[in-house]
Structure 1
Amino acid sequence: MDNKLTTPTRRQLLRIGGAGLAAAALGGLTACGQTASAPVPPPSPGGDPWRRFAGTTINFISENTAPTAAIAANLQPFKELTGIDINIVTLDLQALVQRVALDLAGGQSQYDVVYADPYQVLAPYAAGLADLREFAADDSYPPLEGGFEDFIPTQLQATGMFGGSDAIYALPYDCPTMIWQYRMDLFEKYHSRMQADLGFDPTPSGERTWEEYFRIAEWINENVDEVPYGTGHQAKQHDSLMADFSNVLWAYGGDYFPDGQQVGLRGTDDPGPCLLDSPEAIEAADFYRRLVSIAHPGSLGWDWDGVGNALAAGEVAMAPNWHEFAATNEAALPGQVGYAPLPQGPAGTANHFGGTGIGISAMSEGARRGAAWLFVNWATSPATQLSNLKSSAGGGTPTRQSVYALPEVQAATTRPSEMPNMLTADAVGIAWEEDRIGLRPKIPMWNECDTALFTELSRMLAGQKAAREAMEDATSRIDGIVARGWVA
């Protein structure tokens, strides 16, 4: 194969915690990310390819996500189809990353299927994941329905690929994306007054600007009694703060590194110098500081759950948040919440994408390795994604283009809808376009860079630093982190 794998350094593995030996384990992989021992058993002549590994038990480690909740609640169809048992372990993301690192260090692959977060699993551990093209090209397995081409192209690259390689390490599994969520009933009620006072059409859309968003929020603060505040934000000193700020950063023409879109889409070990001290980034930070200053005061303690609950509870009239909160919104405020792409800035609009893929440990061996592919194939299939979308356990949103084309899914994009996440389809469809999708850097050392940024942003929001100082300090810290990441 032509894929070039990058083995994480011992330093990077130690940074995750307790996994320094993983580099040695990864060093035993072949160029295709595959162990040399315990080959997959050959199929029986004339046998059902889905039943090829019946009686095998495999393990899947995942973050607590909507698709996994839906699958875990209804594993019987997979068991009946394949005869395979699957144990699912769900953890918060940081605990998952630590478990994956330790699993690699052990060299025995406790987990066959891995929820491969692009930034904390895929980028640092690409060498520890199998190239899924190996399975898709093998006629002894059931075909990958629709092929790789059926997945939304930006999502396949962002969640499944790394660097200059053509290898596909994961299939798109979930696709949370930040969009503008707003109280449609209040915007309709006050539309004429807002438009007269503000001098522009306040209807949320990607044509509105962030400055207009600010003015709408300020107007609601002063004129609307039904909610205490116009806007809320996930501005806690947490990964959520980076996610919320990034939408503004990109819209103002700022970025984390040169060629930021490509760094986010395909990833790299060497992103170059940090650009957060650019005039555009500083302007974005100063605007974000002003925006949060008029938002609900709870914003400084909210992550995505906090701001999602605040919108559902009637504490704010609008907020940027992950689109999969639509199901919560519809349960709490049926028919009252609308969805639009995020506002634009001087450089356009950007909608933060937070999707993840699932892949196979390159150290999974024998029948477990083949069974893992059957699960990855099944879990991301159109039929399973449709079932997840309908699930009362949560569901998630499809990552396959063919699912969106189904008549029943198309019908669910308007109310009344039995698939409430599909009410966001128009907004996220725009958000996933290549020139609108917002992608944080896919680099092995991203976790530390993320912490450096949201720490400095939090100091800025607390009034301890001006925007320029916060961005300059974040830049210096991130440059140091990236430099250390280059050391073997």
Structure 2
Amino acid sequence: MDCHSSQPSRRDFLRGALATGASLTLTAGLSSCASRGDAPQTVGVDQWRQFRGATLNFISENTAPTAAIAADLSPFTDLTGINVNIVTLELTALVQRVALDLASGRAQYQVIYADPYQVLAPYQRGLVDLRTLQADRNLPDLPGGVGDFIPTQLDAAGRFVEPGPIYALPYDAPTMIWQYRRDLFDKYRDRMANDLGFDPTPGGDRTWEEYYGIAQWFNKNAKADVLYGTGHQARQHDSLMNDFSNVLWSYGGDYFDNGRQVGRMGSRDPGPSRLDSAAAIAGAEFYQRLLAIADPGSTTWDWDGVGAAFRGGRLAMCPNWHEFAASNEQVLPGKVDYAPLPKGPAGTANMYGGTGVGISANTLSHERGAAWLFLVWATSPQTQLTNLKSKAGGGTPTRTSVYELPEVRAAEKRPSTMPNMLTAAAVRQAWQPDKIGLRPKIPMWNECNTAIFTQLSRMLTERVSPEEAMRSMKERVDRIVARGWVA
């Protein structure tokens, strides 16, 4: 019998863990709901001090805001008297660990970095509806309320299917944009414009065909300054799906019908895949052609690899997550600039990779309250501002009010003490509802994602035709979706 009857069964959780490739050994702790003590609570003290002496465990992907918070937890501990242990893992390992912890009926990790696609969608019933804590008068309110979060991000990172419940608060907001060597574009702009017949200045009005032309021009004409015009995160990995999706959407292709809704709110049954549509195949054909002139290392790189190649001077430009700006500015200060990704026949699309933080439904009452204090603090405007300034982190705010602060506005221009804010003009455009790229938020996404990037890799490295790759992708995705999620 499950400890929490409203949650998915252990079988559901373990099935999800196995889908990510975990090797499982079931222990007594996993197969029984052993009793444990709740966190301490002191009645009649300040709301922020009522759980002093408690210890929380926060499991997170190794992201910019977590790095900044981990570098200095003293403000939270001083405020609350609560100790926080932070465990950071690569995302696949995190998903496996979270699945096992939710299945155990015991919250080893009270606070969870709830990736929308690999944690929130499959395990939504294992997370607390945060509205219950926001409504508790014995607990602090969210400063600014949920209305201060960027609305698209609150839906994408915090909700699943139903518009009411909120299972996570937006915590980070990495978004793919066009990153380019401004110094090289300044040096060669007139020559490029004359040779190519258009203004090569990067921006959302440039087309992917023009991006291709610019990349090819650098390949042929600027070897003294840079080896390749473009590079990509095209390793057989989640990074390849992200990189390709920007092109897919801009050409009018999509993973499922009603793609924007499936990406923003999610779906338990998205219906048949549309990856074999003429628009999707056209996008794949262009992507294969673009990668053929990109740095050959692209098929071995994820986002870190292409980021390192760009900072190392190999590339004139690349699509990558905007939060790489902080490291770009350390290595190439003043030489890099940022723009929305190019457009295709259907417009521009910029992949959003943001995630929220949630609370395990396995938590006991006082643990849950203590975890809420951490969520309120970690996503507060003040903490987000501190993260922006952190040399250890540099995460991007998810709250509208932070972007309106005069010092943050000023940091959008050089010299800047908040280098990620140099991308602000680009990401503001990228976050517009008609430009943000939202992959499908469905419970079976992890399996679908693997099928997608596996077939894309075959297209890039084994000379499989785009049409064959996309049709094979559709067949695999349809089989996965048809099986459903509930075992």
Q: TM-score, normalised by structure 1?
A: 0.93
3-state DSSP class of the match of 1:476? helix
CA displacement at 1:164 relative to structure 2: 2.1
CA distance in 1, matches of 2:370, 2:51: 6
3-state DSSP class of the match of 2:370? helix
2:400 partner amino acid:
Q
3-state DSSP class of the match of 1:233? coil
Q: Which residue of 1 aligns with 2:82?
A: 84
**C-alpha contact 2:41 2:51 (8 A) present in aligned 1:** no
Q: Percent identity?
A: 65
CA distance in 1, matches of 2:271, 2:457: 25
Q: Give the one of 163, 166, 169 matched to 2:164.
A: 166
CA distance in 2, matches of 1:6, 1:442: 19
CA displacement at 1:40 relative to structure 2: 8.8
**C-alpha contact 1:109 1:363 (8 A) present in aligned 2:** yes
CA displacement at 1:43 relative to structure 2: 6.9
CA distance in 1, matches of 2:485, 2:83: 41
Per-residue CA deviation, residues 343-385 of structure 1 (Å, 9 max, x unaligned), is 0000000000001000000111032110000001100000000
3-state DSSP class of the match of 1:114? strand
1:110 partner amino acid:
Q
CA distance in 2, matches of 1:146, 1:248: 36
Instruction: Indicate how the Cα distance of structure 1 residues 451 and 153 shifts in structure 2: closer, same or farther if over 3 A, else same.
Output: same
Q: Which residue of 1 aligns with 2:115?
A: 117
CA distance in 1, matches of 2:461, 2:372: 48
Q: Which runs of 5+ in 2 are unaligned?
A: 1-5
CA displacement at 1:139 relative to structure 2: 1.8
3-state DSSP class of the match of 2:85? strand
Within 5 Å, which residues of 2 pair with 1:172-251?
Answer: 172-225=170-223, 226-251=225-250
Instruction: Indicate how the Cα distance of structure 1 residues 12 and 231 shifts in structure 2: closer, same or farther if over 3 A, else same.
Output: same
Comparing 353-362 with 456-465, greater Cα deviation is found at 456-465
CA displacement at 1:464 relative to structure 2: 2.9
CA distance in 2, matches of 1:21, 1:137: 38
3-state DSSP class of the match of 2:425? helix
Q: Which residue of 2 aligns with 1:15?
A: 19
2:49 partner amino acid:
R
1:310 partner amino acid:
A
1:466 partner amino acid:
S
CA distance in 2, matches of 1:119, 1:357: 11
Per-residue CA deviation, residues 159-178 of structure 1 (Å, 9 max, x unaligned), is 00001241000000111100
Instruction: Indicate how the Cα distance of structure 1 residues 21 and 433 shifts in structure 2: closer, same or farther if over 3 A, else same.
Output: farther
CA displacement at 1:12 relative to structure 2: 3.7
Q: Which residue of 2 aligns with 1:143?
A: 141
1:437 partner amino acid:
I
CA displacement at 1:135 relative to structure 2: 1.0
1:91 partner amino acid:
L
Superposition RMSD in Å: 2.2
CA displacement at 1:143 relative to structure 2: 1.4
Q: TM-score, normalised by structure 2?
A: 0.94
Instruction: Indicate how the Cα distance of structure 1 residues 401 and 20 shifts in structure 2: closer, same or farther if over 3 A, else same.
Output: farther
Per-residue CA deviation, residues 191-239 of structure 1 (Å, 9 max, x unaligned), is 1111111111110000000001000111111111300110001111111
3-state DSSP class of the match of 2:193? helix
1:265 partner amino acid:
R
- Say whether 1:485 aligns with 2:475: no
CA displacement at 1:107 relative to structure 2: 0.6
3-state DSSP class of the match of 1:324? helix
Q: Which runs of 5+ in 1 are unaligned?
A: 29-36
Per-residue CA deviation, residues 48-103 of structure 1 (Å, 9 max, x unaligned), is 11111111111111111111111011000001100111111111111111111111
CA distance in 1, matches of 2:92, 2:191: 47
- Say whether 1:459 aligns with 2:463: no
Q: Which residue of 2 aligns with 1:310?
A: 309
2:460 partner amino acid:
L
- Say whether 1:276 aligns with 2:275: yes
Q: Which residue of 1 aligns with 2:3?
A: none
**C-alpha contact 1:19 1:105 (8 A) present in aligned 2:** no
Q: Report the number of matched residues.
A: 475
